[in-house]
């Protein structure tokens, strides 16, 4: 067999699975968005497989794989005899990056999603900050202060800014020395990233909130639980205002 033919067959074998994976990924994205935006309402049944495959212009094998993925994210229930059911938002895996992305793409879901996240932060982070002020080691306090410097150095670099901001909040819950709070802090990281990405759409939002982060860090370092708690609440409230300004802008654009 000519060498050129061998290379072609090898390339085909290598790219084949990737193409199949990308095809499934594309179907997952299309169906996921349609479920989250209400095109397929909760409680309804997906069209039967042949019809849905035809509507999407995809193969039935790839469609089955995509449905398995969405079932794993708790968007679909494939266990019933009457077909594949769309589950309600309360069942969705809201910590899944795809579900977060699809929710953020829907104005209706984004607003309620962010409001719920703000409420959750007001429960978890003030308690974590107060405990951190009581329990943080010298090393943890130093790391928290160093993260403020990292945040300042990252001004102008969106990805570095997000990374430093997320690290600050992770360190805060870790320094609480409460394993459950620390777990919640890690679980919230994906949600916080989505939150911060939107808030940063307001010009200078990141820079404006640097001092509030510094206030939290200083209260922890000084061992002042009440001040740490108050500082975190101010930080969360400012974030809420930033989100409100950005989302109002999105709503206004959508109405034009």
Q: How many CB atoms lie within 10 A of CB 190?
A: 17
pLDDT-derived band at 155, boundaries 50, 70, 90: very high
Taking residues 219-243, report their average pLDDT.
Answer: 97
CA 18 to centroid of chain Cα atoms: 26
CB 125 within 8 A of CB 172: yes
> What confidence category does residue 17 fall into, taking pLDDT thresholds of 50, 70 and 90?
low
pLDDT recorded at residue 105: 84
Name which of 7-11, 125-129, 206-210 the model is least confident about: 7-11
Which residue, among 143, 125, 70, has the nearest Cα to 102 in the 3D structure?
70
CATH hierarchy code of domain 3-93:
1.10.10.10
Residue 43 per-residue DSSP state: T
77, containing H or E segment: strand 76-77
Using CA atoms of 208, 126, 103, 241 in order, give the dihedral in degrees to the nearest 10.
-40
| Structure confidence at residue 13 (pLDDT) | 46
Asked: is 106-255 a CATH 1.20.120.530 domain? The reply is yes
As a whole number of angstroms, the distance between CA 48 and CA 60 comes to 11
Nearest to 198 by CA among 96, 125, 103: 103
What is the token pair recorded at 85?
A: 């059911």
Residue 181 vs residues 102, 186, 188: alpha-carbon distances, Å: 27, 9, 10
Instruction: Tell me what the mean pLDDT of segment 23-46 comes to.
Output: 94
Q: What is residue 76's three-state secondary structure?
A: strand
What is the DSSP secondary-structure string of 109-134?
HHHHHHHHHHHHHHHHHHHHHHHHHH
Please give the residue that has the higher pLDDT: either 248 or 86: 86
**Domain map (residue ranges) of the chain:** 3-93, 106-255
Across 242-253, average pLDDT = 83
Whether pTM > 0.85 for this model: the answer is: no
Please, are residues 225 and 133 in contact by the beta-carbon 8 Å criterion? yes
CA 51 – CA 122 distance, rounded (Å): 46
89-129 confidence digits (pLDDT tens):
999 998 898 999 898 887 778 888 899 999 999 999 999 99
Confidence band of 253 (pLDDT split at 50, 70, 90): low
**Mean pLDDT of the residues in the chain:** 90
Task: Measure the CA–CA gap between 130 and 226, rounded to whole angstroms.
Answer: 6
Cα–Cα distance for residue pair 119/52, rounded to 1 Å: 38
Q: At what angle do helices 107-135 and 158-174 cross, to 10 degrees?
A: 50
The answer for 25, left when phi > 0, alpha when psi is -120 to 50, beta otherwise, is: alpha
């Amino acid at each position: 067999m000519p060498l050129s033919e061998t290379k072609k067959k090898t390339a085909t074998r290598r790219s084949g699975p990737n193409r199949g994976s990308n095809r499934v990924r594309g179907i997952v994205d299309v169906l996921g968005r349609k479920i989250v935006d209400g095109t397929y309402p909760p409680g309804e049944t997906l069209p039967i497989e042949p019809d849905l495959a035809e509507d999407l212009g995809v193969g039935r094998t790839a469609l089955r794989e995509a449905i398995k993925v969405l079932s794993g994210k708790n968007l679909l229930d494939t266990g019933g005899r009457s077909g594949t059911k769309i589950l309600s938002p309360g069942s969705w895996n809201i910590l899944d990056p795809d579900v977060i992305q699809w929710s953020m793409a829907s104005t209706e879901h984004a607003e309620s999603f962010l409001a719920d996240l703000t409420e959750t932060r007001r429960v978890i982070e003030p308690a974590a900050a107060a405990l951190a002020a009581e329990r943080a080691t010298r090393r943890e306090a130093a790391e928290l202060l160093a993260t403020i410097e990292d945040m300042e150095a990252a001004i102008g670099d969106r990805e570095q800014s997000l990374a430093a901001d997320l690290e600050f909040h992770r360190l805060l819950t870790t320094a609480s020395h409460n394993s459950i709070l620390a777990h919640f802090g890690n679980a919230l990281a994906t949600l916080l990233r989505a939150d911060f990405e939107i808030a940063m759409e307001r010009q200078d939002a990141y820079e404006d909130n640097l001092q509030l982060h510094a206030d939290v860090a200083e209260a922890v370092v000084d061992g002042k639980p009440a001040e740490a708690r108050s500082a975190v609440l101010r930080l969360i409230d400012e974030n809420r205002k930033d989100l409100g300004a950005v989302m109002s802008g999105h709503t206004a654009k959508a109405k034009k």
